[in-house]
Structure 1
Amino acid sequence: MTPPRPRLQLQAATGIHRGDRQYQQDRIEIFTHPRVAGLMLAVVADGMGGRSGGRMAADQVILTSRQLFDRFVPSQEEPLSLLQSIVRESHLMIKLSAISAEQEPHSTVACVLLQPDGHCHWAHVGDSRVHVFRAGRLLVRTKDHSYVQELVDAGTLSETMARNHPMSNVLTSSLGTAEDPPFVSDSMPLKAGDVVLLCSDGLWHYFVDTELGSALDRLEPRESCEFLIAKARQRAVGRGDNLSLAVLKLGRSEARAAAAPHGTRP
């Protein structure tokens, strides 16, 4: 008989900062399932469309994610279906909200569903990213829906050049636009010591993957959030965007329940 897979303990933290903008349009949340111990959903949304429009779009992503996750029944539904519903319904609700809004609200989304046994599923739209690190080494990084990413894919621009390109903020897809967004998802089993990072472009823009991996490997989630925000703010030199991140770090445990997430808001 195959022995049961040991439960993985989770340490989690979130961080958010307004940067040098007048208002905050990022939203980041980690939800625990109301009926299934150890089942968690992390979501980051980077709103666009003016002061109220962008925040409204990001708020709608978070609200839709919470409602769908609360109704999710793992024994009857596939994780892929939940993530697809989050993308599709958030997109629809933002479009409906735009009817009564002066601005044109849009948002990115990156979401991660983490199961009690450590299996991880994710989806994203836009340039908010999901990363998976093991022992400080990058295993997975989502590919942005952006103009510069298309240039990188075509071989006409390097990753380094793309980071500082004058059109680096131009997206080819987001939630709330006229065109339906693509649904891009993947999954993998995680091991003790693995770290999942979700973040908006206001954070990842200031780091290479090796820097992120090193910080996440040597620091606990709360400390890594504080460190990465402080370093991003320093490197922005007064021109920083809104930034947000969630860090999920796994460790081996026989405990029945995962640790509750903590938030940090510098």
Structure 2
Amino acid sequence: MPIAVDACAAQHQGDRKEQQDRVAILPHARSKGVALAVVADGMGGHTGGALAAEQVIHTTKNNLDHFAPAEESARWLLENSMREAHTMIKASRFMNEKDPHSTAVMMLLQPGRVTWGHCGDSRLYRFRDGQLLGRTVDHSFVEHLVAIGKITPEQAETHPNRNVLMTSLGGQDEPRFDFGDTDDLRPGDSFMLCSDGIWAYFDEAEMGALLKQNSARKACEKIIELARQRAAGSGDNLSLAVIRLLEIEVPKNRPPAGFVPRTSS
């Protein structure tokens, strides 16, 4: 079944003095049907976080440009991109005397397969016809508490330490990465990558409905608009990338290849 891709990346500065998020959807330079979406949420004071997030995008784009889909694995590309970005962000401390860090979530789309990876609390959501199929699990203190049974997922949503990360790119310790993939792709599937400035204001059912009922561009516009309203003047940077899979309608009664209609005189 032929599938088309409807994609859009968007962001808003929110109520912060600086935009420290970065988001991009990057097509492969040589391989048709291969593209990579990435969201990075920078941290580290004035300009430091923005530089860290920018490094994630720069490193990922460079690695994608050199990626050979037929010879190299998607997971290798994602892990290598995050690991290299971590090294470069960490090294930048000595040059600019800042303490830069960044989260990262990225997804590689190839014909018939999607692969994703993340570090920190920027998330990937996967929906089918508006129903949640799964999401990444944050590398955060509250998700750790949920995992060991200390608090419930509902309590995690309002926990005072929900933004405390246990790993990130650019920190002193080696970062933690988690990965996932699927070859079960159908029209009606949608993926959203986003920073915590987005997911903090939505439940999964509402997200799924917005992605199902709107084009990628319109969904981005509505999600940002609703997040801004709900932030009530104290909102974080907002960044998201939406990828929707659509069925391509094949025209019926198409003439056979090589058929040339003739008219009689």
Query: CA 1:82 to 1:7, structure 2 compared with 1: closer, same or farther past 3 Å?
Result: farther
Q: Which has the higher contact order (CA 8 A, sep 6+)?
A: 1
2:228 and 2:152 map into 1 onto residues whose CA distance is: 25
Q: CA deviation at 1:254?
A: 7.3
CA deviations on 1:54-95 (whole Å, 9 max, x unpaired) are: 000000000000000000001110111101101110111111
Match of 1:35 among 30, 36, 61: 30
Matches within 5 A, 1:34-183: 34-117=29-112, 119-183=113-177
Amino acid of the structure 2 residue aligned with 1:18: Q
2:152 and 2:248 map into 1 onto residues whose CA distance is: 42
Identity of aligned residues (%): 47
Q: CA deviation at 1:225?
A: 0.4
Q: CA deviation at 1:221?
A: 0.6
Amino acid of the structure 2 residue aligned with 1:188: T
CA deviations on 1:151-201 (whole Å, 9 max, x unpaired) are: 111222222221221111110000000111112101002211100000000
Equivalent residues of 1:147, 1:171 under 8 A apart: yes
Q: Structure 1 length normalisation: TM-score?
A: 0.91
2:154 and 2:46 map into 1 onto residues whose CA distance is: 31
The equivalent residue for 2:262 is none
The equivalent residue for 2:236 is 241
Tell me which moved more, 6-15 or 53-62: 6-15
1:98 and 1:44 map into 2 onto residues whose CA distance is: 22
2:153 and 2:240 map into 1 onto residues whose CA distance is: 21
2:145 and 2:71 map into 1 onto residues whose CA distance is: 41
Q: Structure 2 length normalisation: TM-score?
A: 0.92
Gaps of 5+ in 1: 1-5, 256-266
Tell me which moved more, 13-22 or 245-254: 245-254
- State how many pairs are aligned: 249
The equivalent residue for 2:191 is 196
Q: CA RMSD in A?
A: 1.2
Gaps of 5+ in 2: 251-265
The equivalent residue for 2:203 is 208
Amino acid of the structure 1 residue aligned with 2:166: T
Point out the structure with max Rg over C-alpha: 2
1:7 and 1:75 map into 2 onto residues whose CA distance is: 21
Match of 2:226 among 203, 207, 231: 231
